[in-house]
């Protein structure tokens, strides 16, 4: 089962490409190298559902959020743990409103308990409320700077808000706790690509691939399948090479991404863009055809395929994509027609 959050994000951007015959036209880019959005799934971020805060039901006095409770402080740990346990149970039962209510109660009763704020962050991540998640994870870390479980979902939430420099900073901080996590290096590569720090993206995705190995066994799998994760790492690597206009290396990495997970339409789409940029038009055509097989309703694939046909002077092929595109996205079909009618 794949976590649905992985498939929810990204919007289309536009890449201006210079085609043969001196025509400037538009190729719709949904991810990759120089432009970096992704709408075909396979967002290239590894995501694991955050774990519920730890509960110790031993009773008596103890610690909350890493800070020692004074003998006269209220409530005792046992009462606070019961509240957090109820919140955890509600979250695990997919009752977000109840979970949120209980974590808020825990935070009100014991505002120095980092677990309550981390729990709230988890509930908000589950719902895609990333701004709220960031606020609560940051509070948890402020209360308990070594609360390692809050760093990964905080960095993920920042990335989903397009706050990439902050996300990079938090992912780098996670390396204090674990320097062998392919999740961290893969997601750093994703964020570096979005800030045009392509050399660092190459280094990070290469390290992720090394840590994952040929089988991906080194990664503790959550909702994502092993091949999906390995494909992400190669896709990020290809995007970084693409950003540096190292198209041959980009093509090799993206071919590997598509080979590992043949149903990753995003990898095939990026490969098509890369091959187009490398003027390997015939191969780009095959990549876009594969995207259309996987995502027959994806307008950008028809558009780019039409543009690529036109680049090899196959106007009939380009017009066929225009005809197909009319029933999917009339505005984009008009753009394609205007580009190929000369």
The 3 state secondary structure assigned to the chain is CCCHHHHCCCCCEEEEEECHHHCEEEEEECCCCCCCCCCCCCCCCCCCCCCCCCCCCCCCCCEECCEECCCCCCCCHHHHHHHHHHHHHHHHCCCHHHHHHHHHHHHHHCCCCHHHHHHHHHHHHHCCCHHHHHHHHHHHHHHCCCCHHHHHHHHHHHHHCCCHHHHHHHHHHHCCCCCCCHHHHHHHHHHHHHCCCHHHHHHHHHHHHHHHCCCCCCCCCCCCCHHHHHHHHHHHHHHHHHHCCCHHHHHHHHHHHHHHCCCCHHHHHHHHHHHHHCCCHHHHHHHHHHHHHHCCCCHHHHHHHHHHHHHCCCHHHHHHHHHHHHCCCHHHHHHHHHHHCC
Largest CA distance in the chain: 83
- Per-10-residue mean pLDDT for the chain, 342 residues long? 30 27 35 35 73 74 43 61 96 97 96 97 97 98 96 96 97 91 92 95 94 64 66 91 92 93 87 90 95 94 93 94 95 91 74
User: Residue 336 falls within a domain, yes or no?
Assistant: yes
pTM: 0.78
Query: Could you give the CA distance from residue 261 to residue 278 in angstroms, rounded to a whole number?
Result: 23
pLDDT of residue 175: 92
Query: Could you give the CA distance from residue 220 to residue 152 in angstroms, rounded to a whole number?
Result: 14
Give the chain's radius of gyration (CA, Å): 23
User: Residue 253 falls within a domain, yes or no?
Assistant: yes
User: Residue 339 falls within a domain, yes or no?
Assistant: yes
Two tokens at 239?
């995007």
Per residue in 4-18, pLDDT (tens digit) is 332 222 222 222 222
User: Residue 139 falls within a domain, yes or no?
Assistant: no
Asked if 119 and 87 count as a contact pair (C-beta separation under 8 A), the reply is yes
pLDDT of residue 67: 43
User: Residue 258 falls within a domain, yes or no?
Assistant: yes
Which residue range(s) make up the domain with 258? Answer: 178-342
64 φ/ψ angles, rounded to the nearest 5 degrees: -125, 125
pLDDT of residue 157: 97
Asked if 303 and 12 count as a contact pair (C-beta separation under 8 A), the reply is no
Say how many domains are in the chain.
Answer: 1
Long-range Cβ pairs for the range 68-76 (8 Å, 24+): 74/109, 75/109, 75/110
User: Residue 104 falls within a domain, yes or no?
Assistant: no
CATH of the domain at 337: 1.25.40.10
User: Residue 45 falls within a domain, yes or no?
Assistant: no
Query: Counting Cβ atoms within 10 Å, is residue 193 exposed (0-12), middle (13-18) or buried (19+)?
Result: buried
Torsion of CA 55, 59, 65, 70, to 10 degrees: 180
User: Residue 11 falls within a domain, yes or no?
Assistant: no
């Amino acid at each position: 089962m794949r976590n649905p959050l992985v498939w929810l994000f990204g919007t289309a951007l536009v890449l201006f490409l210079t085609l043969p015959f001196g025509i400037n036209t538009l190729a719709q880019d949904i991810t990759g190298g120089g432009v970096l959005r992704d709408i075909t799934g396979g967002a290239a971020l590894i995501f694991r559902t955050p774990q519920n805060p730890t509960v110790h039901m031993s009773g008596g006095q103890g610690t909350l959020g890493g800070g020692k409770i004074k003998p006269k402080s209220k409530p005792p740990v046992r009462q606070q743990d019961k509240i957090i346990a109820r919140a955890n149970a509600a979250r695990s039962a997919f009752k977000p409103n109840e979970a949120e209510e209980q974590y808020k109660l825990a935070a009100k009763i014991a505002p120095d308990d980092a677990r309550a704020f981390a729990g709230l962050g988890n509930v908000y991540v589950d719902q895609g409320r990333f701004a709220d998640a960031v606020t609560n994870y940051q509070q948890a870390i402020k209360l308990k700077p070594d609360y390692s479980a809050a760093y990964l979902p905080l960095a993920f939430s920042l990335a989903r808000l397009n706050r990439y420099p902050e996300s990079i900073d938090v992912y780098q901080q996670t390396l204090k706790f674990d320097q062998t996590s392919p999740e961290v290096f893969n997601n750093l590569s994703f964020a570096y690509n979005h800030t045009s720090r392509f050399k660092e993206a190459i280094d990070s995705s290469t390290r992720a691939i090394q840590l994952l190995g040929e089988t991906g066994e080194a990664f503790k799998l959550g909702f994502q399948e092993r091949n999906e994760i390995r494909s992400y790492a190669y896709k990020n690597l290809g995007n970084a090479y693409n950003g540096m206009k190292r198209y041959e290396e980009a093509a090799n990495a993206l071919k590997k991404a598509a080979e590992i997970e043949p149903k990753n339409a995003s990898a095939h789409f990026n490969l098509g863009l890369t091959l187009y940029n490398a003027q390997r038009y015939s191969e780009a055509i095959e990549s876009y055809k594969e995207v259309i097989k996987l995502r027959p309703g994806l307008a950008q694939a028809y558009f780019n395929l039409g543009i690529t046909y036109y680049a090899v002077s196959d106007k009939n092929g380009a017009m066929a994509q225009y005809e197909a595109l009319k029933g999917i996205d009339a505005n984009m079909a008009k753009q394609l027609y205007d580009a190929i009618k000369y």
